[in-house]
Amino acid sequence: MHSEKASAAGEALLRRLRRLVARAATVKGGERRQLLALIDDVQTTRRGLLKECAEVEGQMRQATVRATAIGAYLRNSQAGRGKRHN
């Protein structure tokens, strides 16, 4: 269930980024305070997305390790029974 929470958090961050981009399109160049606030919001959202990406990468790495271990277990069990393995 942890991945469902991470997915929901990632989706929320992407929605926030889309809103920020839409808001940035309406800001005029002379509104320095609004632009600075937008830059800060975009950077905060970017850091959140990078954190989510790192978490997904870790989960993928863990799944790869598990799949490799399962494959090794399968090959070993087949060898123990005298079956040929690929």
Looking at residue 84, its pLDDT comes to 59
Return the higher-pLDDT residue of 83 and 32.
32
CA distance 65 to 19: 38
Q: List the structure tokens of 42.
A: 């975009």
Query: Does the global pTM surpass 0.75?
Result: no
Looking at residue 86, its pLDDT comes to 56
If you average pLDDT over residues 8-30, what whole number do you get?
84
Looking at residue 2, its pLDDT comes to 63
pLDDT tens-place string over residues 24-69? 888 877 788 888 888 899 999 999 999 999 999 999 999 999 999 9
